[in-house]
């Protein structure tokens, strides 16, 4: 899903609330249940993930080979921060040495 479409969806809701607040001359609140929220703003890029994990008998993860391919389209939106987010998620654990091969 193109993130521009997500932003456009959210913008319509925000604009509707702003217009209602202006017309009524007081703050308004809009509530959406989770299903409606996901319809309005949800969406993820198509991804293909493959991984292999090395685990000791005591359950400790000793190795991780992770390959993630995602189709973010031609626009620089979330695609620019995805590698950073993945690296930050992996830094939460004590891996010893980390190696990354990131292609854009």
pLDDT digits (tens, 9 = 90+) for 33-66: 888 877 776 666 788 889 888 889 998 888 888 8
Does residue 47 contact residue 69 with C-beta atoms inside 8 Å? Answer: yes
More confident residue, 82 or 55: 55
pTM of the model: 0.48
| Secondary structure percentages of the chain, helix, strand, coil, to 5 | 40, 20, 40
Task: Provide CB contacts within 8 A for 49, sequence distance 6+.
Answer: 66, 67, 68, 69
Give yes or no: residues 32 and 51 share one domain.
Answer: no
Give yes or no: residues 78 and 28 share one domain.
Answer: no
Give yes or no: residues 27 and 50 share one domain.
Answer: no
- Which pLDDT value is given to residue 3? 46
Query: 83 is in which domain, residue-wise?
Result: 45-104
Rounded distance between C-alpha atoms, residue 71 and residue 2, angstroms: 10
Give yes or no: residues 55 and 97 share one domain.
Answer: yes
Give yes or no: residues 34 and 2 share one domain.
Answer: yes
């Amino acid at each position: 899903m193109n993130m521009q479409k997500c932003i456009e969806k959210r913008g319509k809701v925000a604009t509707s609330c702003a217009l209602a607040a202006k017309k009524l001359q007081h703050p308004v609140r809009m509530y959406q249940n989770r299903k409606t929220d996901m319809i309005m703003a949800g969406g993820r890029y198509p991804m293909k993930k493959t991984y292999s994990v090395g685990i000791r008998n005591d359950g400790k993860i000793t190795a991780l080979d992770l390959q993630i391919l995602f189709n973010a389209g031609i626009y620089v939106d979330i695609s620019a921060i995805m590698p950073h987010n993945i690296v930050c998620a992996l830094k939460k654990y004590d891996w010893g040495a980390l190696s990354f091969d990131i292609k854009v």
